[in-house]
Amino acid sequence: MDIFEKCAKFVEADEVKEQGLYPYFRPIASAEDTEVTIEGKRVLMFGSNNYLGLTVHPKVKEAAQKAIEKYGTGTCGSRFLNGTLEIHLELERKLADFMKKERALVFSTGYQTNLGTISAIAGKEDVIITDKWDHASIIDGTRLSFGEIRRFKHNDMNDLERVLKSIPDNKGKLIVVDGLFSMEGDIADLPGIVELAKKYGARVMVDDAHAIGVLGKNGRGTAEHYGLEDEVDLVMGTFSKSFASLGGFIAGKEYVINFIQHFARSLIFSASMPPANVAAVSAALDIIKNEPERRQKLWDNTKRMLDGLREMGYDTGLSETPVIPVIIGDDMKTFMFWRALLDNGVYVNPVISPAVPPGRQLLRISMMATHTDEQIDRALEVFEKLGKKFEVI
């Protein structure tokens, strides 16, 4: 049997392309700002994780340019060998201080951070417990580990306790959850998770990819949001959202990060973050710390969009954050609605199964601090018009 036979039989994408409804790998011909150029025309961007609008901030761009001038365009090696620059270590110190942890370690992507951390920590005698709606990088990290994998129903503390009760006391236990869930926009029940972790002797890791810069008085994420920073063992973050760059990090106790540094395969066998990315993150972190008004504006914008959609009758799921789902409930209808939005000057992200459960296919809106009231109102006008056309509202 030819191993490529399955490739030849994969025609679903081509069928959607023929209908003009294929939404993926669509090129953008401008910077990721509140408005972008797609297919030769300007459209409103409501599909970017650029929550604080820092991808075009002059200080962030200047820092990246200066780093290239000093260090060149890349490291051509892994952190383990020749790929550690002084600016990597400087960024790690800044992140550890910001996150109120003993130490931080940066990876080349957020995906690699979860792969490396989880697979390094969980051995043959350990159990990893995950929320069923956790991000794919968490799921893949558990698969690369030698640990046993157990899952609990989304944000269901009774089900989490059921799982924890069933694990023998002599097993190491690591609970890994998203802090802010990237599709529904809801927040993990971290108080409940921490309480059960203490009760059953488990450690807690929070993936705050979408929460750092967004949640908490100072933007430190889900643990700060709940006042539980001392109760969470590991916090993971990415640099491709609020930090407007590329990469990821894990923060925790010195001895734990030291272990991860020496056993995380995705760190040891990947080239390190390029200098421009490191410098951009460092500059973005300074802005996150020094300009809390950006975060407030993000939340003001979120409320304006959420209230507007809900008043029209849209189902916005469990959202309580700048990630706003518009539940459509059907694959093809989701694609058709997405295309109509784009034709009317609004870009969002269509999400279908298996990324979401069947019946919860959705259009994912991501708010930015730099959206203007006028831009939000324009988008709401389009949603109102199309919602009636597609009989969603």
* Domain architecture of the chain: domains with CATH: 5-56+292-389 (3.90.1150.10), 58-290 (3.40.640.10)
Tell me what the pLDDT averaged over the chain comes to. 97
- Around 238, how many Cα atoms within 13 Å sit in the side-chain half-sphere? 25
Is residue 95 pLDDT above 90, yes or no?
Answer: yes
User: Which one from 135, 173, 241, 297 is the annotated catalytic residue?
Assistant: 241
* pLDDT at position 299: 98
> Cβ(163)–Cβ(173) under 8 Å?
no
Q: What is the pLDDT of residue 355?
A: 83
CB 211, CB 180: distance < 8 Å? yes
The span from the CA of 152 to the CA of 17, in Å, is 37
- State yes or no: pLDDT of 356 exceeds 90: no
Helices first, then strands: H and E counts in the chain: 15, 13
Q: Which residues pair with 296 in a beta bridge?
A: none
Q: Is position 182 annotated as part of the catalytic site?
A: yes
pLDDT, tens digit, 9 for 90 and up, residues 44-62? 999 999 999 999 999 999 9
Among candidate residues 88, 101, 135, 210, the one labeled active-site is: 210
What does the DSSP 8-state code read for residue 108? S
Residue-level pLDDT at 219: 98
Catalytic residue chosen out of the listed positions 137, 182, 245, 366: 182
Amino acid at 215: L
The one-letter amino acid at 272: S
Quick one: pLDDT at residue 362? Answer: 97
Angstrom distance (rounded) from CA 289 to CA 97? 11
pLDDT digits (tens, 9 = 90+) for 155-183: 999 999 999 999 999 999 999 999 999 99
pLDDT for residue 379: 98
pTM: 0.96
Residue-level pLDDT at 123: 96
Tens-place pLDDT, residues 209-239: 999 999 999 999 999 999 999 999 999 999 9
354 pLDDT band, cuts 50/70/90, is confident
Q: Is the pLDDT of residue 353 over 90?
A: no
Which ranges in the chain belong to alpha helices (H)?
Answer: 5-9, 12-18, 58-71, 86-99, 110-121, 136-144, 157-165, 190-200, 222-226, 254-263, 265-268, 275-290, 292-312, 331-343, 373-389
